[in-house]
A = this chain, B = another copy of it.
Amino acid sequence: MQVPLYQAKAEFFRMLGHPVRIRVLELLGEGPVPVRDLLAETGVEASNLSQQLAVLRRAGIVVSTRDGANVVYALAGPDVADLMRAARRILTEMLQGQAELLASLAVEGE
């Protein structure tokens, strides 16, 4: 690997660092989804969604296939699905931890 590992990791996390992209990846975690549905679920403008999908595609973590007039997206591999599950679990724990921290700070503050 040419690029230093920290750099690669940072790039990867930065790629995850957008609400629409996260949402898309979680939806794809359940299975392939046509763009039309992603559009409906995320509620963003079509061109904006396309831009975000392009970021995910460039990162190689999703793939798109055409099905007639529609395009369907899917996670590029099972690793990605695992990753999303793990990220979800971790994040939930993490945010919960922070919520508790905030709660305890609020009590102290009184």
Contact = CB atoms under 8 A, between A and B. Distances in A.
Interface of A: 1, 4-23, 26, 60, 76-77, 79-80, 82-83, 86-87, 90-91, 93-95, 97-99, 101
B86 A90 contact: yes
A22 B1 contact: no
Contacts of A1: 95, 99
Kindly report how many copies of this chain are found in the complex they form together.
Answer: 2
How would you classify the secondary structure of chain A's contact residues: helix, strand, loop or mixed? helix
A49 to B, nearest CB: 14
A32 to B, nearest CB: 18
A108 to B, nearest CB: 15
B93 A83 contact: yes
Given A1-B95, A95-B8, A82 B90 contact: yes
A86 B83 contact: no
